[in-house]
Chain A
Amino acid sequence: MSAELTTRSLRLPANTALIWTLGLFAITWPWVGKLPLPTLLAAIVTPDTDHFDQIMIHYAWAPRLAMAILIGAGLGLAGAVLQQILRNPLASPTTLGVESGAQLAIAASSLYFPSLLAPSPDITAVSGGVLGTGLVIALTWRLGFSPVTVILAGMVVSFVLGAVNYALLLLNGEFLGHLFIWGAGSLVQNDWSQFQTLWPRVVGLALAMVLLMRPLQLLQLGAGSARALGARVIALRLLALALVILMTACVVSRVGVVAFIGLAAPALARMLGARTLQQHLFWSTLLGAGLLLLADAFAQLATQWIGGSLIPTGTTTALIGGPMLLLALRGMHNNHHSPTHSSEPATLALKRRSLWFPATITLTLLAAVVVLSLSWSPSLQGWQWKSLSAWPELWNWRGPRLIASVTAGMILGVAGTLIQRLTGNVMASPELLGISGGAALAMVALSLSGMSVGRSGQLVAGAIGAGLVLTLLFLISRRHRFSGHQLLLGGVAIYVFMDAGIRLVLSSGDTESMKLLNWLSGSTWLVTASEAWALVVMAAVLIAAALLCSRLLTILPLGEGSAQALGVQVPVARVTLLLLAALLTAAATIVIGPLSFVGLMAPHMARMLGQQSVVRQLLLAALVGATLLAAADYLSRVILFPNQLPAGILAAVIGGFYFFWGLSRHAQR
């Protein structure tokens, strides 16, 4: 009994020590042959300027090492604090729009106002980050920064800004290859100056966070009890959020996005047994530093192996952190320690409405978009209305992509509803489960291998990729009886891993990667008629199956206990629904790419429009998704005529703005 206890309490220090040792070893290893260890240590402080190696150590190697530790620690701590405020294990500084804001600001100013960047990119990056989060804060102000709304608004802001950023990259691909690298987080240093400006800020912010520990602890009891104990919940949330944002913005402005640390370190600490808030903050900080150290060592080694092209640390962070999270998830025995939001009502809108009104409006909108799409578009002679008699001819060009968009939208809406109901987490979406990422990575790998197999070959590859990820998800979550949080964390780990892989490919910046970027951002213009109709058939079958599961979807959110008491075989039901969701996602991804986020937004919109029961939510989410993607497809064609933008990006932008509008309307009531 006591032996078991000791092994458990040793797990956290032992694992942390292991990660640190590995990281330190890997980062020192290239120098071991060249210099004796005492000389190396001495060179950090007082280099012998006659030796090039010692200069390298003093001005490049040591500052980089120090930066990795500092930044990792800062981000780990910020992530732990954020998870405490938002009480969701999927929350990370990325979810607040800081990084996407900063990234967009840098990209936009390097394209249009390069003079802004000349003195220092810091100011631009920080103000971009502050603008991104400012948007999130403004949207959730009246709702008292309730965790659910902060998370949702933050994710949507991130997606919208990210989509705009992608659009900029697509339109100016040849100039912005380096931005991919910056965006992916690079720790290269030339002297100690960056470290010296950064460390006082990080340490100061960290101290402020530690001072907030006691009131933060109260938040664990839920907003109501915290208030009853005398905490000013809203002020506390705002203050803590501000600290997290500042910390992230400071780091992002220096080294770009290495955000996965903010998610992985707290998650690892929790899984390895950090129970109290003190433990959680302390070990998240240490683990964050260790993880980034290891990732940076890996990035340096990889850069040397590949030779020449720079491997960003942000990418290797995800490549290392993702699998590590998966491993930890395998070893996790219970989920008592994972925070849930179940004590506060998770719903955004409790209002109910009949289905007819919103459905009619949405259908009318959809019809209007279809008509517009077929008949009113720019040509070389300017904007023109095409007569009805010209439709059959136009259908040949515009029909397939329109059908594909509408169907993919419906599929994603249904898949999103399914996954959100299944996991009971508002942040869940088909994109985040990594299934679309799997499809994407398989297709990227295929095209890189140089084989020309055509579209059909790509589709098969995508399906195989999605299937592989799905199998992996099953294997991970089988131990936990396919319960929500583990499934989602596993999915996110896979997603981040895939995303890093894709970024790595894209950072090479050649023509092949531009083509891939087009597909990844959802280019409907590649769709052929036979593909579109195949998608329709699949959609019909799968959506019908989803509707048949509606009773299960009502019962499962009540929790495993209640579902079991009502006679549901919970693991079987979850596997069935997960399989269905994965099939739906794979089908849609192959056409529209992994970046549209319709699957996240459509179900929430259906709820904001007053559809609370499962069947109605499914139906309306499908309609909303279809309208979103149809509109996005139309705009993608006309907005920059004769150029085309990928519809997936536009869907994220349109849906995002609609979502903001819904949220602000909701706040007014």
Chain B
Amino acid sequence: MSAFFQIRNLQVSAGDTVILKGLNLDLHDGEVTALLGHNGSGKSTLLKALARQLKPRGGGLTLRGEAFDSIRQRDFAREVGYMPQYPPATDGLTVRELVALGRYPWKGPLGRYRDEDQQLIDQAIEDTGLRQFSHRSVDTLSGGERQRAWIALLLAQQTRCLLLDEPISALDVVHQVDTLRLIRSLAKKRGLTVVMVLHDVDLAARFCDRLIALKNGSLAADGSPQQTMNTRTLESIYGIAMGVLERAPGHWVSYVH
């Protein structure tokens, strides 16, 4: 497997606070990765750095071996899609109009949307189960529906990589599982690289190939669910007494003592 993202000695700080302290990681093509860790551990910051949303203070980032700085903005957006933790207000856009913005990296400010673009947009709306909301204004939707609308935008963007910051935080259990299942099946079908910040370790272990945990801006754990889902590793990540049950192969339940 070739490295999709290469992270070398990545340092990020906000004002005087150091958030990431010299991180080294390779994220591989076609892998679904979960970023775990307690609040303030630097998960979102890492994701933002991968999405080129912030400038690191030191270290290097490459996308398929190309340095981040040398990639044009629209080319980058064709490769990497990013969903922020708090999607911004959309000021009157309908769901379909929002999702259609996902075609921008491919069409630019003037390029005409062809039938295939329309199909991709419809497909993305269909996949996220938003068809009946297609002409509703995004501002009037519930939090979960809004989150799915932004996921649909990413799907229409047709990137090789999805960076998702807590994509299921506003969803109920049914939609959480549905959304993760959708992301996983798309990832496997199209060979997508997915990196997402998740808070639910059990769901992460169930739907991801690799779990990466951060603690205070450094790497705390990195490995397959098999390697991570044990008492010792979880306790070292979260710093409280925990236990893990394996109910079936590849199906863990963690709990707090």
Q: A interface vs B, CB < 8 Å?
A: 1, 4-5, 342, 345-347, 350, 352, 424, 548-549, 551-552, 554-555, 557-559, 561-562, 564-569, 607, 612-613
Contacts and interface: CB of A to CB of B under 8 A. Distances in A.
B16 A345 contact: no
A350 B109 contact: no
Nearest to B87: A562
B82 A612 contact: no
Nearest to A562: B88
B139 interface: yes
A144 to B, nearest CB: 17
A342 B91 CA distance: 10
Interface in B66-83: 73-78, 80-82
B88 A565 contact: no
B51 interface: yes
Nearest to B102: A566
Contact of B110 (A5, A548, A561, A613): A548
B45 interface: no
Contacts of A346: 89, 91
Interface in B1-58: 16, 51-53
Given A566-B77, A567-B74, A558 B51 contact: no
Shortest 4 CB-CB contacts between residues of A and residues of B: A567-B77, A567-B74, A567-B105, A612-B92
Nearest to B140: A350
23 contacts: A4-B16, A346-B91, A350-B140, A352-B94, A352-B137, A548-B109, A549-B109, A554-B97, A554-B101, A555-B101, A557-B91, A562-B88, A564-B52, A566-B77, A566-B101, A566-B102, A566-B104, A567-B76, A567-B77, A567-B105, A568-B73, A612-B92, A613-B97
Interface string B96-113: 010001101101011000
Contacts of A607: 92
B179 interface: no
B84 interface: yes
Contact of A551 (B87, B104, B140): B104
B93 A566 contact: no
Nearest to B163: A565
Contacts of A559: 88
Contacts of B81: 565
A346 B53 CA distance: 25
A152 to B, nearest CB: 15
B88 A342 contact: yes
B157 interface: yes
Nearest to B16: A1
A233 to B, nearest CB: 19
A5 B101 CA distance: 42
A561 B47 CA distance: 13
A567 B88 contact: no
Contacts of A567: 73-78, 104-105
B51 A565 contact: yes
Contacts of A1: 16
Contacts of B84: 561-562, 565
B104 to A, nearest CB: 5
B224 interface: no
Nearest to A611: B92
Contacts of B77: 564-567
Contacts of A548: 109-110
B140 A568 contact: no
Contacts of B109: 548-549, 551-552
B200 to A, nearest CB: 25
A554 B16 contact: no
A1 B82 CA distance: 33
A566 B109 CA distance: 11
Given A558-B90, A564-B53, 14 more contacts: A4-B16, A346-B89, A347-B92, A548-B110, A551-B109, A559-B88, A562-B84, A562-B88, A565-B51, A565-B81, A566-B105, A567-B78, A607-B92, A612-B93
A421 to B, nearest CB: 9
B139 A345 contact: yes
A381 B73 CA distance: 68
A4 B13 CA distance: 15
Interface in B127-154: 137, 139-140
Nearest to B79: A567
A617 to B, nearest CB: 9
Nearest to A5: B16
Contacts, number: 83
B137 A350 contact: yes
Contact of B139 (A5, A350, A613): A350
B192 to A, nearest CB: 16
Contacts of A561: 53, 82, 84, 88
B110 to A, nearest CB: 6
Contact of A347 (B82, B91, B94): B91
Contacts of A352: 94, 137
Contacts of B76: 567
Contacts of B74: 567-569
A562 B105 CA distance: 12
Contact of B73 (A4, A558, A569): A569
B139 to A, nearest CB: 5
A562 B90 CA distance: 11
Given A347-B139, A554-B97, A565 B53 contact: yes
Nearest to A548: B110
A554 B88 CA distance: 13
B83 to A, nearest CB: 8
Contacts of B91: 345-347, 424, 557
Contacts of A4: 16
A350 B76 CA distance: 33
Select the residue from A5, A551, A564, A566 with max chain B CB neighbours within 10 A: A566
A569 B73 CA distance: 6
Contacts of B102: 566
A579 to B, nearest CB: 15
Contacts of B16: 1, 4-5
A552 B88 CA distance: 16
A568 B90 CA distance: 17
B104 A555 contact: yes
Nearest to A341: B89
A548 B111 CA distance: 10
B151 to A, nearest CB: 13
A427 to B, nearest CB: 15
Contact of A568 (B82, B93, B104, B139): B104
Nearest to A346: B91
Nearest to A351: B137
Contacts of B139: 345, 347, 350
B157 A566 contact: yes
A273 to B, nearest CB: 13
Interface centre among A352, A552, A554 (most CB of B within 10 A): A554
Contact of B137 (A424, A552, A554, A612): A612
A434 to B, nearest CB: 25
Contacts of A564: 52-53, 73, 77
Nearest to A549: B109
Give the most central of B75, B102, B104, B157: most A CB within 10 Å: B104
Nearest to A347: B92
Contacts of B73: 564, 567-569
Q: Which of A345, A562, A613 has the most C-beta atoms of chain B within 10 angstroms of its own C-beta? A: A562
A669 to B, nearest CB: 14
Nearest to A348: B92
B56 to A, nearest CB: 15
Nearest to B105: A567
B137 to A, nearest CB: 5
A350 B51 CA distance: 32
A167 B97 CA distance: 45
A269 B149 CA distance: 40
A472 to B, nearest CB: 27
Nearest to A570: B73
Nearest to B150: A562
A56 to B, nearest CB: 53
A558 B88 contact: yes
A225 to B, nearest CB: 15
